[in-house]
A and B are shown apart, each in its own frame.
Chain A
Amino acid sequence: MSENGKINAIVATDCGSTTTKAILIKLVDGEYRLIVRGEAPTTVEAPFEDVTRGVLNAIREVEELSGHEILDGEDIIHPNDGNRGVDLYLSTSSAGGGLQMMVAGVVKSMTAESAERAALGAGSIVMDVLASNDGRLPHEQIERIRHLRPDMILLSGGIDGGTITHVVELGQIISAADPKARLGAGYNLPVIYAGNKNAREEVVKLLEDKTSLYQVDNLRPVLERENLGPARDKIHDLFMEHVMAQAPGYSKLMGWTDAPIMPTPGAVGSMIEAIANRHDIEVLGVDIGGATTDVFSVFQKTFNRTVSANLGMSYSISNVLAEAGIDNVMRWVPFKLPELEVRNRIKNKMIRPTTVPQSLDDLKMEQAIAREALRLAFEQHKNFAVSLKGVQQERTISEAFSQSASGETLVNMMDLDLLVGSGGVLSHAPRRQQAAMMLIDGFLPEGTTRLAVDSIFMMPQLGVLAEVHEQSATEVFEKDCLIHLGTLVAPVGTGQEGKPCIKFETTLPDGTLVNEDIPFGEMKVYPLGIDETASVKVTPARGFDAGAGPGKPFESTLTGGVVGLIVDTRGRPFVLPTDESERVKRLDKWAAAFDAYPPA
């Protein structure tokens, strides 16, 4: 901290598997702003095998671009005195494969699922979920633990005071597997026990000698409630102490930072959660990377994160094709390409993951794949972000008839207020309209939803910053991180192409009156800039719901963005025509409405 006790300059880095990104934030005219961003290749692997090399290189680029001196040789200058030094240095990391965990719980859909939620929320990749009822025989489970070599194991099971037999059985399985840690041969694998407190003594007997055992409060003390905080915090501590400390150069890096290093997705999750809490809104965030796609959501005040470990735009691009199928990918491509050609192209991207689309057709192809990766990752998220299972619910007669059950998805697209996208294919799309279209097609929001992209993917750094200095994180997030694309209006319902769907009325900031009957099957974009608002009235035709109920007029004040005010009457559920020429015609028409691509 500087002499006056204020934080005036902050540098934060995110050590990714391929690139280390640094940002410099400074207090300018009473508010915190992003000054510059720099990057350098990550240096965890040979020949460097020292993460701090990449960190120093990235910070050096920040110094060069900003003229603000941060380094004295290889030391970060503390504190800031005007144009020299910083008051805070923080970092996140996903290098070396991030944090890889295995979780175990007694019942797959109850304690095992809660354990999975705790691990994912802490920013880890869950390699496997072990449960007493997962259908595998004990020796198969043991074989699996041995084979996977996770960074740590989270063991849960049973409610406090309940039977201990099953969770002790899981302890026996872990003990019999005698698991070894992924990094560093010389230390015991960390195991966190967060199950029935009455089983602690037995678990200690089984695992104390073979693992580094830690005990925290039960993550499901009663069926009706999860208590994920203690397990999540312990995961973060152990990530630092055990996993990171084994990775090359991290011990040194840990000595530099003013707060513990966080796993990158954990930091992004904190940021998404903070936005939702601050504005009391429902938020969905996605980070589509080269190897994985993370989806974060806050619905009904519950935070959820999922990692689709093999859905991504470079290393995992071929898996998107394998999971979605070629027809699903090709339905978004507005031209014909033989299957052999498509398959070979995608495989070539997989084996040379750093290449970029040079031709327009290649870009369209890549964005088609992105739509499917987003759709699949979101499907997985919806299936995971559910209310607690196994909870007895008190029901009124009408609820009993509506068959609502525990374990239903919390994701309700009609309630969604803000959809934030990040990751190269979204953040670096040559035109922002393309990012808006990919988000709309991948997630199919309903009613009215604000759309935004993370301009340069700095949510990880802001997430870790929010833990120690929330004000600066918030100010930079609102002013420099998010690029608002605009608001989408998408009525729910289906109809026939060209038949009535909605009547759309608004007055645009330049005074233009809009009073249009928009038929089914259209995309319209109206100019409404960043920070501009417009009062909108949407009157849906029978069978359509714009947010106020079927057929009922919906009125609201909507905010613009770099793309504008978007109206999508293509229907929900959304179906593309199967006829080839009709499909291509519509894709071209919708892209033209957005001015998404240069003329061919």
Chain B
Amino acid sequence: MAHAYTPGLRVSEKTVVRKERRLPIKGEVVVAKGDHVTSDSVVARTHLPGNVQLVNVASKLGLPPEDLPSVMQKKDGDPIEKGEALAVTQGFFGFFKSKVLSPCEGTVESISTVTGQVILREPPTPIEINAYIDGEVVEILPEEGVVVEAVGTFIQGIFGVGGERTGEIAVVVDGPGQPLDESLITDEHKGKIIIGGSHVTWDGLQKATEVGAHGIVVGGFDDPDLKRLLGKDLGVAITGHEDLATALILTEGFGEMTMAHGTFDLLRSCEGRKASINGATQIRAGVIRPEIVIPIEGATAADVQDGEGSTTGLEIGSLIRAIREPHFGSLGKVTELPNELQKMESESMVRVLMVEFENGEQALLPRANVEMIEE
């Protein structure tokens, strides 16, 4: 039987974090195994093939495609400058010549006598990838990239927008239930990763961007504000490529939701330390959750007790969070795990568990509607 619970997001005080940094196409790795790198160190670079331009030379000159070779001034593989003659007709006794000029700098890739087209390729674009986290290069992926390893605090969020950012952790709220609004953000937060509580308001997010904060980590956010931020209604949770100055990571979900105490306390204990965060989220097969990585200087893999963090599944006493109405966001402890399917108010027959919430209230919940809090 499939495990009918959501495994939960990882929240780990000290763990080994490995990040694969791979080029989109083959290139050159510029660091060596064992090198210590910082988040902005370049680890590999390559050149993306340039854009292609198609020029229908035959039709521009009013010639049948098969006559193309007789007028071409360049052959396959030749370099060409923007504005340079690509083809020139003979004209009448040297007069009335017609020309086709190259629309770009690049090389001639092919000349077709079937279609009359000449394909030009623009110069390649250089691209570089950085280490993203402070750590050590532990593996070289020849011609493709590296694996960087760090020992540090690792927290997964549930949803985020915006790509990779780094900055110092700055906790600006008193507790995990306090909303983050603009009054809490000042010019001092430039370049920082701001930690809020239950929710960030639209004005709070705007203020963070204005002062140049690199990221916000908070419990919840309202969907209408997300629509405003992205300029469109987000249909499918595949994010990370948005052009946002301030990355946003939600630890709990949409709406006003108190951040899990464990997560908040851990972030508070990291105040002032450098963090690498990534808002990229992909909720599809091959799920990617947003993350916060806070390397611990000088720590090594030998210091890590918990290994990679094991998931044992739900047990009596497990800490859980309800992740659907009517108890959405409430935290509690599992008190019973009955085997039989039970009928819900919706009349769905589901596997359930009994939970005692922090306020003492007991409730029967579908196992699919809880998330384990891994500590």
Contacts and interface: CB of A to CB of B under 8 A. Distances in A.
Interface of A: 17-19, 39-41, 44-45, 61, 95-97, 138-139, 142-143, 164-165, 168-169, 172-173, 175-178, 202, 291, 310, 315-316, 318-319, 321-323, 339-341, 343-360, 362-363, 428, 430-431, 598
Given A96-B285, A358-B324, A358-B326, A310 B236 contact: yes
B232 to A, nearest CB: 8
Contacts of B121: 176
A142 B53 CA distance: 9
Given A97-B284, A164-B114, 11 more contacts: A138-B53, A139-B54, A315-B283, A347-B254, A353-B283, A356-B324, A356-B366, A356-B368, A359-B325, A359-B326, A430-B349
A430 B54 contact: no
Contacts of A143: 51
11 contacts: A138-B54, A168-B114, A176-B54, A176-B109, A345-B254, A348-B328, A350-B237, A355-B6, A356-B369, A359-B345, A360-B347
Contacts of B323: 348, 352, 355
A352 B347 contact: no
Contacts of A97: 284-285
A172 B365 CA distance: 58
Nearest to A94: B285
A348 B348 contact: no
Contacts of A310: 235-236
A358 B344 contact: yes
Interface stretch (B204-212, B222-230, B269-277): B222-230
Contacts of B233: 318, 321-322
A172 B114 CA distance: 11
Interface in B169-212: none
Q: Which of B110, B117, B226, B326 has the most CB of A within 10 A?
A: B117
Contact of A19 (B2, B235, B328): B2
Contacts of B302: none
Given A45-B286, A348-B323, A352-B323, A318 B158 contact: no
A357 B348 contact: yes
B52 interface: yes
Interface string B135-171: 0000000000000000000000011000000000000
B119 A355 contact: no
B368 A40 contact: no
A351 B158 contact: yes
Nearest to A597: B347
B346 interface: yes
Contact of B1 (A61, A343, A359): A61
Contacts of B300: none
Contacts of B1: 39-40, 61
Contacts of A340: 222-224
Interface residues of B, number: 55
Contact of B49 (A139, A178, A202, A355): A178
A172 B324 contact: no
Nearest to A45: B286
B234 interface: yes
Given A41-B3, A310-B235, A347-B226, A431 B52 contact: no
B52 A139 contact: yes
A168 B115 CA distance: 7
Given A177-B52, A318-B236, A345 B325 contact: yes
Nearest to A201: B114
Nearest to B328: A348
A352 B236 contact: no
Contact of A359 (B65, B224, B283, B346): B346
A431 B346 CA distance: 10
A258 B222 CA distance: 52
A323 B348 contact: no
B254 A344 contact: yes
A348 B326 contact: no
A354 B236 CA distance: 15
Contacts of A346: 223
Nearest to B104: A139
Contacts of A139: 51-54
A337 B299 CA distance: 51
A348 B255 contact: yes
Given A169-B117, A318-B234, A355 B224 contact: no
Contacts of A428: 348
A168 B222 contact: no
B347 A172 contact: no
Contact of A323 (B6, B49, B235, B369): B235
Contacts of B365: 358
A350 B253 CA distance: 10
Nearest to B2: A41
B350 interface: yes
B130 to A, nearest CB: 22
Contacts of B117: 169, 172
Nearest to A291: B284
B6 A315 contact: no
A129 to B, nearest CB: 19
Contact of A348 (B253, B281, B286, B368): B253
B13 interface: no
B112 interface: yes
B371 interface: yes
B162 to A, nearest CB: 16
Interface in B344-359: 344-350
Contact of B119 (A172, A315, A344, A347): A172
Contacts of B366: 355-356, 358
A347 B51 CA distance: 38
Contact of B346 (A321, A350, A363): A363
A322 B234 contact: yes
Contacts of B344: 356-359
Interface string B108-128: 011010110101010000000
A428 to B, nearest CB: 8
Nearest to B350: A356
Interface string B222-252: 1110100000111111000000000000000
Q: Which of A44, A173, A358 has the most CB of B within 10 A?
A: A358
A416 B114 CA distance: 48
Nearest to B158: A351
B369 A172 contact: no
Contacts of A18: 285
A173 B371 CA distance: 48
Contact of B6 (A19, A177, A352): A352
A362 B324 contact: yes
A598 B344 CA distance: 11
B323 to A, nearest CB: 5
Interface string B324-352: 11101000000000000000111111100
A520 B236 CA distance: 40
Instruction: State the 10 A-B residue pairs at the shortest beta-carbon distance, nearest first.
Output: A319-B235, A430-B347, A322-B233, A343-B223, A363-B346, A138-B54, A344-B254, A347-B254, A344-B255, A355-B324
A40 B326 contact: no
A165 B114 contact: yes
A169 B55 CA distance: 11
A540 B355 CA distance: 56
Q: Which of B117, B285, B286 has the most CB of A within 10 A?
A: B285
Nearest to B343: A430
A258 to B, nearest CB: 27
A400 B283 CA distance: 52
B81 to A, nearest CB: 19
Given A356-B369, A359-B325, A172 B110 contact: yes
A291 B1 CA distance: 22
A6 to B, nearest CB: 33
A17 B283 CA distance: 12
B255 A358 contact: no
Contacts of B112: 168, 172
Nearest to A322: B233
B325 A362 contact: yes
A329 B77 CA distance: 57
Nearest to A180: B25
